[in-house]
Chains A and B, each alone.
Chain A
Amino acid sequence: MDKCNIMIVGVGGQGTLLASRVIGNVALKQNYDVKVSEVHGMSQRGGSVVTYVKIGDKVYSPIIEKGEADIIIAFEMLEALRWAEYLKEDGKLLVNEQKINPMPVIIGKEKYPENIMEKLRENYKNVISLDALKIAKECKNIKAVNTVLIGLLAKSMNIDKELWIESLKEIVPQKALDVNLKAFEEGYSRG
């Protein structure tokens, strides 16, 4: 791996920050240069959020531009659609088939787009999707959606699985660790 640009997109409150921190930590363990750009503050409150993780021998800008992402991991379908333009031609798009209506849809001003997964598959070469919310519920922790998706991501990157588990152990609070490790395995096995 020379360099890898990963975008984590979703809705504020879905736990995208944890995912970016785990990925960043894994890259650090591999002795790469890494930058992770996060969103805090107002935009975080239920809005569209994007975190950039750039890994390489030397990283300058922390931001990934359109057409530069090797992997986009979307925590929500509409957000996958919104950010897909940032994908490289042969980039991977990992999508959680969860649907969270934005306010313009809730108040009936706009429609939530139909058949998002079909359209993504028609337009991009490498699309993998799963229902991380359902899997998280099966793991008995609705909050483990992010760890399921980290598992899915881990499978699509050429980095030793043990490093991911090590990072999770360092970052996830002790009491939630077992559930999260299970959620990680579930995501990993679906990659």
Chain B
Amino acid sequence: MKKLMLGNEAVARGAYEAGVKVATAYPGTPSTEITENIAKYDEVYSEWSPNEKVALEVAIGSSIAGGRAICSMKHVGLNVAADPLFTVSYTGVNAGLVIMVADDPGMHSSQNEQDSRMYAKASKIPMVEPSDSEECKEYVKEAFEISEKFDTPVLFRLSTRISHSQSIVEIGDREDIALREYKKDPDKYVMMPAMARKRHVAVENRMAALAEFSNTTPLNRIEWGNTDVGVITSGIAYQYAREAFGDVSYLKLGMIYPLPDKLIKEFSEKVKVLYVIEELEPFFEDHIKKLGIKVIGKDVLPVMGEYSANLIREKVFGNQSTGKKIEGIGTPVRPPVMCPGCPHRGMFYVLNKLKLTVSGDIGCYTLGALPPTQAMDTCVCMGASIGAAHGMEKSRGKEFGSKTVAILGDSTFVHSGITGLVNVVYNKGNSTVIILDNSITGMTGHQHNPTTGFTIKGEPTRQVDLEKLCHAVGVDRVKVVDPFNLKEFEKTVREEIAADEPSVVISQRPCALLKNVKFEGPHKIINEKCKKCKMCMKIGCPAIVDFGDHIEINDALCVGCGLCSKVCNFDAIEKAGE
């Protein structure tokens, strides 16, 4: 049967067909839908782990115990999981272990543009990369074969346009794969110096064998066309190159580490001019140049941003397709915004009013850095808000610290904020940490996490009690407040930043997009009462519009959260009638 599938959905199907036993992940765009889709298969155990490091460790455990495992994350998630990654390279596997990593060239939804191929080389783990959904499914199955044949974890690189494009997939059946026998084998699985030294030898031998295999695997294929031009490429860049270069010859790489030296040499000898088309770093190009082969690559193409067929045409041929643009009319940009009804809006209103330095974090609330709130000073990585706020206080002193807060979401706090909080307590800091508990992992599209009380399959489970947790690590001052109760919220924040000890404010209100969140319906502004003071504009709600002569609420966007009516001093906002 043929089906249209997202790349991520096809990966999930591939894992299912490959007889995977355990699937783990922490959500992160563009990788999230892999594990969301695996969770639909009851034959596979799946979980949201609290972070990528734990996710990979769980998958390693499954592999060692004899069940095939897949672990998925976005590119920056692999930084978090890098510790187990480098050593599972040494232990190798029992049952197959495949690690999905989704890069985000162009940074549609990420804080950096790192190229995860570098990890394959650094950790000495083979890497494969598909170029459409069908390959997503088939390569996952092949990756498990490689993993077991060569006793190695396999990295699997995706990118936004592969993960989030749908293309046609031929559905197959699940392979019935029995658990592999589990044998205690400390020489292989206990990585102490004496054992690891021996395993390092095994790793080097394995990589040499894989380098040979790379020359013969069907994952790497030559598509002969006109031999005046040859193109070496992989993944989504292959699709762009196909459109830009047309009927030339291609060496399409599916196994992108280790690279197939013999195949590359054979290909390069038969074409007159050789191009390397790869997004981000010159990973192939550097290697091919070391083989003494002349190529055109990053000397004409950028190391930044997403590619497209048009970009290649422009950089390589000096032409590109164009359309008709209407001249002389401004087109205002439309950056993403916090949704109408978003609980974070109340909090940002207060933080702005108090003019605090805000050490921020990763989530929907990062949008608070943009106009009109502009209430965030820093955002580095998951969980960094707490450590950074502590560092600010330690370098600039208590006075500065007392005007600083760290803010991070419930899921982000569990991911890697807890250790930061322990550090504040241990090292005698005074930071105020605001945990935005909106009952879900928001930005990635509503995934459960240890604080929501439900598993990936929606089954009830034990819920992390954030108050108790904060008390347990030594924070005595823990307050729970509704961020839409603006007076109470402001009072609490004022008290906590003034306190000469660490404190946590749990800003508790569910995400406005959750199905069980009901509001009373659109509000309206009563023009007779409105003084046009624009207080309501300060909350930065996309539903409130200033027409110059009057202010209006867009009833197609307004959900009726009522926050605007709370900031209005003239009772000019009320629920609209039918």
Contact = CB atoms under 8 A, between A and B. Distances in A.
B540 to A, nearest CB: 7
Interface stretch (B474-482, B541-549, B567-575): B541-549
B338 interface: yes
Interface in A95-127: 98, 100-113, 119-120, 123-124
B183 to A, nearest CB: 43
Contacts of B334: 11, 46-48, 78-79, 82, 102-103
B164 A39 contact: yes
Interface string B323-351: 11110011111111111000000000000
B166 interface: yes
B109 A43 contact: yes
A66 B2 contact: no
A107 B329 contact: no
Nearest to A120: B326
A89 interface: yes
Interface string A109-152: 11111000001100110000000010000000010000000000
B418 interface: no
Contacts of B545: 101, 105-106
Contacts of B371: 103-104, 107, 109
A81 interface: yes
Contact of A45 (B32, B33, B239, B337): B337
Interface in A46-62: 46-48, 59-62
A113 B326 CA distance: 12
A92 B77 CA distance: 42
A40 B109 contact: yes
A107 B548 CA distance: 11
A90 to B, nearest CB: 11
Contacts of A85: 322-325
A81 B326 contact: yes
A88 B323 CA distance: 7
B249 interface: no
Interface in A62-103: 62-63, 65-69, 78-79, 81-82, 84-89, 98, 100-103
Nearest to A66: B323
Interface in B99-143: 108-109, 132
Nearest to B74: A41
B187 interface: no
Nearest to B3: A28
Contacts of A36: 4, 165-167
Nearest to B331: A82
B222 interface: no
Contact of B556 (A39, A111, A133): A133
A110 B330 CA distance: 9
A52 to B, nearest CB: 8
A33 interface: yes
Contacts of B29: 40-42
A103 B542 CA distance: 7
Contacts of B448: none
Contacts of B397: none
A183 B267 CA distance: 55
Given A24-B4, A63-B308, A86-B323, A35 B165 contact: yes
Contacts of B557: 100
Contacts of A62: 161, 165, 167, 236, 239
Interface string B161-193: 100111110000000000000000000000000
A103 B335 contact: yes
- B-side interface size class: 35 or more
B537 interface: yes
A168 interface: no
A46 B337 contact: yes
A24 B2 CA distance: 13
Nearest to A76: B334
Nearest to B104: A41
B109 A84 contact: no
Residue in A12, A37, A142 whose Cβ sees the most chain B Cβ within 10 Å = A37
A25 interface: yes
Nearest to B552: A101
B331 A113 contact: yes
Given A37-B161, A100-B557, A105 B332 contact: yes
B105 to A, nearest CB: 12
Given A37-B161, A47-B337, A103-B335, A42 B324 contact: no
A41 B364 contact: no
Contacts of B242: 60-61
Given A28-B168, A42-B443, A103-B542, A67 B335 contact: no
B322 A67 contact: yes
Nearest to A37: B165
A68 B244 CA distance: 14
Interface string B13-34: 0000000000000000110110
B419 interface: no
A63 B106 CA distance: 14
B309 A101 contact: no
B542 A87 contact: no
B335 A113 contact: no
B337 A142 contact: no
Contact of A112 (B166, B332, B445): B332
B552 to A, nearest CB: 10
B554 interface: yes
B168 A37 contact: no
B395 interface: no
Contacts of A78: 331-332, 334
Contacts of A123: 324, 326
B168 A33 contact: yes
A119 B324 CA distance: 12
B321 interface: yes
A104 B537 CA distance: 12
Interface of A: 11-13, 21, 24-25, 28, 33-48, 59-63, 65-69, 78-79, 81-82, 84-89, 98, 100-113, 119-120, 123-124, 133, 142
11 contacts: A41-B443, A42-B109, A43-B336, A45-B338, A47-B337, A84-B325, A87-B323, A102-B334, A103-B337, A113-B330, A119-B329
Query: Which 3 pairs across A and B sit closest by C-beta, in order of nearness?
Result: A41-B109, A41-B29, A67-B323
Given A48-B333, A63-B161, 16 more contacts: A34-B4, A35-B132, A37-B164, A38-B165, A40-B164, A43-B109, A45-B367, A47-B334, A60-B239, A61-B239, A67-B321, A82-B334, A88-B323, A106-B545, A107-B540, A111-B330
